[in-house]
Amino acid sequence: MKKDIATPTRTQEILKKFGFRFKKSLGQNFLIDPNILANIVEAAGVREDTGVIEIGPGIGALTEQSAKQAKNVLAFEIDQRLLPILKETMEPYPHVKVVNEDVLKTDLHRYISDYFQPGQDLAVVANLPYYVTTPILMKLLEEKLPVRVMVVMMQTEVAERIAASPGSKAYGSLSIAAQYYARAETVFHVPRTVFMPQPNVDSAILRLTRRDAPPVNVTDEELFFKIVRGSFVQRRKTLLNNLSKLFEDTLTKQETAEKLQEIGIDGTRRAESLTMKEFAALTGAFHRYTG
């Protein structure tokens, strides 16, 4: 039996054999601790019948741990140089399919329906490249993929922002966007020492459990997210200032202030103190004033 891919010695051997050089621009920091990887897979509740979607398999360290537990694995890797490596490292795992595509440009719904069974339990398990963590996550959430859970590694600060509650410094439009679609929690922290090469940030594992329905009723999702983003444009400014800027083409500042009064939200508050429910109320109040 070969050692796990993620053991430091096996990883070194593989990299040396293929003469692989890390590309910083692709966020290539590979994990070299099989226990941590197994814990990530466990945090996703991967079972015998689960289909796993992975973004950025690298040389297959996490893919291997998923493959040991799951029914099948579909992995998207942008870097063509990793394909011959994955072909060899994934040889013992014929239920792993590697697709050489940029996940941001991929039609994920099509791949999911082609590769997995209808109604199959699906989980995203990934160690995300730092430089595109947020766009990848937002794509996965906004496209409303039929996945039960996403367990993803990212920079600690980003995980904190996603899981943040109103009133905290980390709370912002990203927290609301993610929590609209999923329940978010940090599962555990990962030190930078278990990566090759070591990144200059610490990482955390975030679990996003998809909600069956959004936690608030929103009359118009597009307007809701526009208001959320607009309210945080200048964090230190009051809600009234940010919103009157956002609606300056259709409403006077006085009219914006009146709308806030009507729904009982104090315009001197800052966006970071508003709950998702209050943003939903704002969406209702400003609904008529958008073209």
Smallest gap from Cβ 23 to ligand SAM, in A, equals 7
Total of chain residues touching ligand SAM, rule CB under 6 A: 22
Smallest gap from Cβ 106 to ligand SAM, in A, equals 8
Site string for ligand SAM, 29-58 (x = CB under 6 A): xxx-----------------------xxxx
The correct pick among 14, 43, 74, 103 for binding ligand SAM (CB under 6 A) is 103
Q: Name the phi and psi angles at 18, rounded to 5.
A: -95, 0
For residue 42, give every residue at least 6 positions away whose Cβ sits within 8 Å of its Cβ, in sequence order, or none.
Answer: none
The correct pick among 7, 13, 18, 26 for binding ligand SAM (CB under 6 A) is 26
Cβ distance to ligand SAM smaller for residue 136 or 280? 136
Can you spell out the DSSP letters for 167-199? Answer: TSTT-SHHHHHHHHHEEEEEEEEE-GGGEESPP
Cβ distance to ligand SAM smaller for residue 127 or 175? 127
Burial class from Cβ neighbours inside 10 Å (0-12, 13-18, 19+) for residue 286 reads buried
Q: Does 227 bind ligand SAM (CB under 6 A)?
A: no
Choices 73-81, 154-162, 173-181, 239-247; region in contact with ligand SAM by CB under 6 A: 73-81
Dihedral, 195, 189, 149, 82 alpha carbons, nearest 10: 0
The correct pick among 14, 28, 174, 280 for binding ligand SAM (CB under 6 A) is 28
Q: Which helix (H) or strand (E) holds 85?
A: helix 83-89
Choices 41-49, 100-108, 238-246, 276-284; region in contact with ligand SAM by CB under 6 A: 100-108
Cβ distance to ligand SAM smaller for residue 139 or 245? 139
Q: Which residue spans within 22-166 are E strands per DSSP?
A: 30-31, 51-55, 72-76, 96-99, 122-127, 149-155
Residue written as tokens 């940029």?
A: 102
The correct pick among 14, 70, 121, 129 for binding ligand SAM (CB under 6 A) is 129
Residue 68 — left, alpha, or beta (φ > 0 → left; ψ -120 to 50 → alpha)?
alpha
The correct pick among 44, 53, 62, 73 for binding ligand SAM (CB under 6 A) is 62
**The two three-digit tokens of residue 10, written as one number:** 């096996």
Compute the distance between CA of residue 260 and CA of residue 250 in angstroms, rounded to an integer.
15
Q: Does 218 bind ligand SAM (CB under 6 A)?
A: no
Site string for ligand SAM, 160-199 (x = CB under 6 A): ----------------------------------------
Which of 245-250's residues contact partners 24+ apart within 8 Å by CB, and which partners? 247/286, 247/289, 247/290, 250/289, 250/290, 250/291
Q: CB–CB of 81/59 below 8 Å?
A: no
Nearest residue (beta carbon) to ligand SAM: 56
CB neighbours (10 Å) of residue 218?
20
Choices 43-51, 98-106, 223-231, 281-289; region in contact with ligand SAM by CB under 6 A: 98-106
Residue 85: name the closest of 22, 32, 20, 8 by CA: 20
The correct pick among 70, 85, 124, 132 for binding ligand SAM (CB under 6 A) is 132
User: Interface residues with ligand SAM (CB under 6 A)?
Assistant: 26-31, 55-58, 61-62, 76-79, 102-104, 127, 129, 132
